[in-house]
Amino acid sequence: MLNVGALREGYVLDHIKAGKAMTIYHDLKLDKLDCTVAIIKNARSNKMGKKDIIKVECPIENLDLDILGFIDHNITVNIIKDGKIVAKQELKLPKQVVNVIKCKNPRCITSIEQGLDQIFVLADEEKEVYRCKYCDEKYTGKRNK
């Protein structure tokens, strides 16, 4: 059983790949939130050997599940109310991600016109392929692998 400590209301991101907690902290912009955040690194895990955990004392509505699903959909989201886990949120690969990754095609309109949203669309769910909405360029950068 996960020890949620003093967390009364918020969420716990469990089964984060060891060493990735800080990346996720920044990608979710938790540094911008006025919430209590606890990062646990290298916790022992039966399933993964080692894992990271992030505890956030903040309403779940403030969490961008699409970004989290894009980074790593194997992360478990536990929703905490009154100090207990009341629900687990399944993560899925989002159909599209906005302003998370950038298109690398120099001829893409997003490279030419500043201020356009960077939109990537899930093109192949099986292979986890994302393509730029404007120029169809495949995203080949790292997610959380």
Binding site for Zn ion (CB under 5 A): 103, 105, 108, 132, 134-135, 137
**What's the rounded Cα separation, in Å, for the pair 62 and 22?**
18
Q: Which two tokens stand for residue 46?
A: 């039966």
Closest contact distance (angstroms) between CB of 116 and Zn ion is 10
Closest contact distance (angstroms) between CB of 135 and Zn ion is 3
Residue 53 or 103 having the CB closest to Zn ion: 103
99 touches 71 (CB < 8 A)? no
If you ran DSSP here, which 8-state letter would residue 26 be given?
H
Residue 37 or 121 having the CB closest to Zn ion: 121
Task: For residue 73, give the nearest of 141, 128, 30 by alpha carbon.
Answer: 128
Closest contact distance (angstroms) between CB of 104 and Zn ion is 8
